[in-house]
Structure 1
Amino acid sequence: MVNLESLKIDLKSLEQGATPFEFELDDAFFESLETTEVQRGNLHVSLLVNRTNDYYDLNFHIEGSVMVPCDLCLDDMEQKIDTDNRLAAKFGENYSEDDDLVTVVEDEGILDVAWFIYEFTELNIPIKHVHAPGKCNPAMIKKLQEHSATRSSGEEIENDVDPRWAALSNLKIED
């Protein structure tokens, strides 16, 4: 089980200059965040925090893999993750996130990077994720083909278009 407390960085305690952090995240990390998109995976996170007075530059390198559902057959598939992201932090009176700048409450001085790691990981997943050809669940592919708008013979099913809509196709806009 991942200790989410280890993902909370006490910015005030960091020395001037660069401080490295390493995290190994597994299924427990994703389960603890209670997200719906990614629920399993193994990630290695390298975080380098560079402190200059009360300004912090955080550089994340995340690599590994997560399990996501295939858009075609809905079986789980492994999606490789390899991403570099940057985040800046400073102290202020109230917590806020503006683009790539996080303002941390100065009295607390703690920055929880767990959600940022999750967001960087999720943003690295392609919009469309499909198994390699021939790797999808064959039973699901067969069902999809049975219910497809085109038959295996290549003939398309006739679409009965509402005549009111069909009349619109005859309209032409002239310049």
Structure 2
Amino acid sequence: MKKNKEYIIPFVGLKPGTHRYEFNLDTAFFAVQGIEEVSGAEVAAVLDFDKQDHLMTLHFDFEGWVLLTCDRCAGEYKQPLSGKYRLIVKFGDQAEELSEELVVIGRDEYELDVSPYLYEFVRLLLPIKREHPVNESGQSECDQEVIGALDNLLVNTPEKEEETDPRWDALKNLKWS
């Protein structure tokens, strides 16, 4: 994947301390990252980049919304997003991801591309079950025509009485007191 200069932080020239970066994650960002289920977006990502001598701590703060397709009625809706994540970047002999919060990069690296981390953290903020929100009156904002059509398509199967052993039927009539 081609690196976008907007998301690359050249940390070699930075003085130790905290540096703030702000990113606007819009529809184009999600298209480049390959998130097909997001058809629109406006997410503000604030990165507090704390550079120290032997490691860097990245604090991500996300706020905004994405346009998703509802799993129930297939209509689009705005899903609010809000979350905070932390990432620790250490220097080592070879690049590797040790855990969700700890990444090792080579000692000869001089810049850090944060776009994969922005992508990962936004993916974690997306809900598994995607449905329209419920309004103030407690009703779903799903397209009621579609929901009605789906309800009409449901096949109503008559409930079968469970066959039981006649020897045990007498026990059903016992009252426990």
- TM > 0.5 between the two? yes
Q: CA deviation at 1:26?
A: 0.9
Q: Match for 1:135: what amino acid?
A: E
Match of 2:48 in 1: 48
Q: CA deviation at 1:39?
A: 4.2
Q: 1:40 to 1:105 in 2, by over 3 A?
A: farther
1:49-88 equivalence runs, <5 A: 49-88=49-88
Q: Which of the pair has more CA radius of gyration?
A: 2
- 2:92 and 2:36 map into 1 onto residues whose CA distance is 32
Match of 1:146 in 2: 152
Structure 1 alignment gaps of length 5 or more: 151-156, 171-175
Structure 2 alignment gaps of length 5 or more: 169-177
- 2:37 and 2:107 map into 1 onto residues whose CA distance is 33
Q: CA deviation at 1:114?
A: 1.2
* Secondary structure class of the residue paired with 1:12: coil
Deviations 1:42-93 (A, max 9, x none): 1111100111102000001110001111111111111101111100001223
- 1:82 and 1:134 map into 2 onto residues whose CA distance is 22
The count of aligned residue pairs is 158
Match of 1:124 in 2: 125
Q: 1:25 to 1:160 in 2, by over 3 A?
A: same
Q: 1:51 to 1:134 in 2, by over 3 A?
A: closer
* Secondary structure class of the residue paired with 1:73: coil
- 2:57 and 2:39 map into 1 onto residues whose CA distance is 29
Match of 1:101 in 2: 102
Which 4+ residue blocks in structure 1 deviate beyond 6 angstroms? none
**Farther-moved stretch of structure 1 (123-132 vs 46-55):** 123-132
**Farther-moved stretch of structure 1 (23-32 vs 121-130):** 121-130
* Secondary structure class of the residue paired with 2:12: helix
- C-alpha contact 1:38 1:122 (8 A) present in aligned 2: no
* Secondary structure class of the residue paired with 1:45: strand
* Secondary structure class of the residue paired with 2:82: strand
Q: CA deviation at 1:134?
A: 4.3
- 1:40 and 1:112 map into 2 onto residues whose CA distance is 23
* Secondary structure class of the residue paired with 2:72: coil
- C-alpha contact 1:27 1:41 (8 A) present in aligned 2: yes
**Farther-moved stretch of structure 1 (24-33 vs 130-139):** 130-139
Match of 1:4 in 2: 4
